[in-house]
């Protein structure tokens, strides 16, 4: 039985793992896909203190290496269920199960989809949720980004460096993302703003060939012939497997205070999966360190 099981190998989970290892605990991180989490899809991170600019991929690679060098163990499995057992908790992932005395849930949040007809079948055929991963497919051509938050602004800026034209489609006139990014977007000549517009339909049979946009003020529609659409409309948690252990709010985020403790003794939550007002790398890392420290104290008190 490990001292601490951590679900999720993003910035919160890996930071928690580093803190727990440095406190002498045995740690297993169980991660469903790859280490790094959502920041892997961020082309450029410019608000990590002490580092003016770094790609999300480089940042996560350094973090993963740091955790591995400290002896953090990793299992690449999708956790389907978590339950209390004698002396701790058990995670079930397919036919495998893992046991730990304490549990830190760092499940993050997944890319939200637009919910358009045929969106799912066109994923990988023109529809993408990661500009850094798939942007190169559209180098020199035209593409579109949907959303008005930091992710959409960053994606549009990144794509404008490799594509001829980038259409940024947002359902309102004002951006939700930060002012500095919005200003850069407005100044970039090859980013064409399509504001107060929603995407009504995706066109194309085997692959995306265009979009139908709807003007939310006039109701009029227009066609945009683009082979690529990058959807960056925020994130949603996937915390239901853990609901028996930690309370969820109406949007599905874990309810816990700044101390990252849940209502279940021995269960802690950290990062984007927690109900909070600011979801950033800094707050994920902060949560990870708080949750791990609280978990270590809790274990030492047992």
Q: Which of residues 198-237 bind ligand NAP (CB under 6 A)?
A: 198, 232-235
Are 90 and 98 in contact by the 8 Å Cβ rule? The answer is yes
Q: Which ranges constitute the DSSP H helices of the chain? A: 11-22, 56-69, 131-134, 150-160, 179-187, 281-300
Q: Please return the burial class of 297, using the count of CB atoms within 10 Å of its CB with bins 0-12, 13-18 and 19+.
A: exposed
Please give the residues from 111 up to 140 whose contact with ligand NAP meets the rule CB under 6 A.
114
**What residues does 202 pair with on adjacent strands?**
211
> Quick one: which of 134, 142, 150, 287 contacts ligand NAP (CB under 6 A)?
150
Annotated catalytic residue 130: yes
Active site residue 163: no
Binding range to ligand NAP, per CB under 6 A, among 151-159, 187-195, 217-225, 238-246: 151-159
Quick one: which segment of 6-14, 169-177, 246-254, 258-266 binds ligand NAP (CB under 6 A)?
A: 169-177
**Which of 81/180 has CB closer to ligand NAP?**
180
Shortest distance in whole angstroms from residue 7 CB to ligand NAP: 20
Read off φ and ψ for residue 28, nearest 5 degrees.
-120, 125
* 89 CB-contact burial (10 Å; exposed 0-12 / middle 13-18 / buried 19+): buried
Q: Is residue 133 flagged as an active site residue?
A: yes
Which of 3, 134, 150, 272 does the annotation list as catalytic? 134
Q: How many residues in the shown chain lie near ligand NAP by CB under 6 A?
A: 22
Q: Using the minimum distance from each CB to ligand NAP, give the nearer residue, 68 or 275.
A: 275
Strands annotated E in 171-280: 191-195, 197-203, 210-215, 221-224, 229-231, 235-236, 267-269
State the minimum distance, in angstroms, from the CB of residue 71 to ligand NAP.
30
Residue 154 CB, nearest approach to ligand NAP (Å): 5
Q: Does 74 bind ligand NAP (CB under 6 A)?
A: no
The Cα angle at residue 66 between residues 1 and 16, in degrees rounded to 5:
50
Contact at 8 Å (CB) between 23 and 16? Answer: no
Residues that bind ligand NAP (CB under 6 A): 42, 45, 47, 114, 146-152, 154, 171-172, 176, 198, 232-235, 279-280
Q: Which residues are catalytic?
A: 130, 133-134
């Amino acid at each position: 039985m490990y001292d601490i099981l951590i679900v999720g190998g993003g910035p919160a989970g890996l930071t928690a793992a580093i803190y727990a290892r440095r406190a002498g605990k045995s740690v297993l991180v169980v991660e469903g896909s790859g280490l790094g989490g959502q920041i892997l899809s961020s082309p450029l991170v410019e608000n990590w203190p002490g580092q003016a600019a770094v790609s999300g991929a480089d940042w996560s690679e350094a973090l993963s290496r740091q955790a591995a060098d400290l002896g953090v163990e990793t299992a690449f499995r999708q956790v389907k269920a978590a339950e209390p057992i004698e002396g701790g908790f058990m995670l079930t992932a397919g036919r495998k199960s893992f046991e730990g005395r304490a549990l830190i849930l760092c499940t993050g949040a997944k890319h939200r989809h637009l919910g358009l007809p045929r969106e799912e079948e066109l994923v990988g055929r023109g529809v993408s949720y990661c500009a850094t991963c798939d942007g190169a497919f559209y180098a020199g051509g035209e593409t579109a980004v949907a959303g008005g938050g930091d992710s959409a602004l960053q994606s549009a800026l990144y794509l404008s460096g490799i594509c001829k034209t980038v259409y940024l489609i947002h359902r309102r006139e004002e951006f939700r993302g930060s002012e500095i990014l919005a200003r850069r977007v407005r100044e970039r000549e090859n980013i064409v703003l399509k504001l107060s517009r929603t995407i009504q339909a995706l066109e194309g049979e085997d692959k995306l060939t265009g979009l139908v946009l709807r003007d939310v003020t006039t109701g009029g529609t227009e066609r945009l012939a683009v082979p690529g659409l990058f959807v960056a409309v925020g994130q949603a948690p996937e915390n239901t497997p853990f609901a028996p252990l930690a309370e969820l709010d109406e949007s599905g985020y874990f309810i816990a205070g700044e101390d990252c403790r849940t209502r279940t003794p021995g269960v802690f939550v950290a990062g984007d999966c927690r109900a909070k007002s600011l979801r950033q790398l800094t707050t994920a890392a902060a949560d990870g360190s708080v949750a791990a420290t609280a978990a270590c104290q809790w274990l030492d008190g047992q």
